[in-house]
Structure 1
Amino acid sequence: MSDSSIAFDQAASYYDDTRGFPPGIDREVGAFIANAGGLDANSQVLEIGIGTGRIALPLAAHVGGIVGVDLAIPMMQRLRHKRQAYAGRIDLIQGDILQLPLADASFDAGLMVHILHLVPDPQQAVRELARVLKP
C-alpha cells in the first residue's frame, strides 16, 4: 500500500466535507462533462480515483454506467452508501491505476481528477487509461 492510499484511507471520514460542490452545481458538472465528452445514455465511463463519488454521482444521470477504480476502500465505502439513487449504474473496483484490473477497449470515456500528482509513474497511468478506452 502506498503512502497516498494510506492518507486517503484516513481522510475518507471528512473528504466529502472538504471537497464538495456548492448546492446545485453538481448537476451542472455532470451535464457539462457528458456534453463535453459527447457521452449519452449508452456510454460506459471509467473514473480512476473515484473516491467518494464527487464526479461520478452527478455524471451517472447522463451515462449508461460508470466503473470506478480506487485504492482507498474507505472512500469507496462512503460512495457505496451514496450511490443507491443510481442503482446498478456505478460499479466499484479496488485497484491500482498503474495496473488496472480491466479488459482492453472496455470504455467509451475515462476520467482522472486530481490523481496524477499522487501517482509514482504518471506516464504509466495514462498508458493504462488509454489501454482500457475504446479506439
Structure 2
Amino acid sequence: MVARDQENENETQEGFEPEDIDMMVPTDWSSKLRGCLSCSLVKTVNQFATNGCENCPFLNMQGDKERIMDCTSNSILGIYTTMNPRTSWVARWQRTVKLRPGCYAIAIDATLPEGIEEELSEQGIRVKRTRATAEATLRK
C-alpha cells in the first residue's frame, strides 16, 4: 500500500507515470553509458536514440546518433540514482531537483561543443547546468 501511494504521489507531483521510470534508467551497465552534457542524465546510446533526453528535448537527440555523440559523453565520473528528486538531498546537492527521476552522473569530464551552445543561445534556449556539467565548464 505504501509503494502504491508513493507512485500516485510521484505521478501528481512529477507529472510522469510510474511505468515511465524504466526509460530513464540505463538498460545496459557496460561501457556504453553516456551522460547528457546539459543535465547529466545517464543512459545508453540506444536509449538516447529512442527517447532523446527527457530533461533536454531542445538538444534534439532523438533518432540522431551524431547529435547524441556531440551532446553526451562517456567520460562519466560516478553515477547516482534518484527516484524523487524533489525530496532528495543528493538531487539538491547535484542541482537536479527539477529534473526527472533517473540515473545521473556525479561529474562529466566534457562540455557541450561551442557550436551547439551558440545554436541554442540563438534560439533563446538557456542550457541547464547541474553540478556535474557546471564543473566541467569551469575547468574549460
Q: Considering the TM-score relative to the shorter chain, is it more than 0.5?
A: no
Give 1 or 2 for the bigger CA radius of gyration.
2
> If the TM-score is normalised by the length of the shorter chain, which range does it land in?
under 0.3
- TM-score normalised to structure 2 length: 0.27
TM-score, normalised on structure 1?
A: 0.28
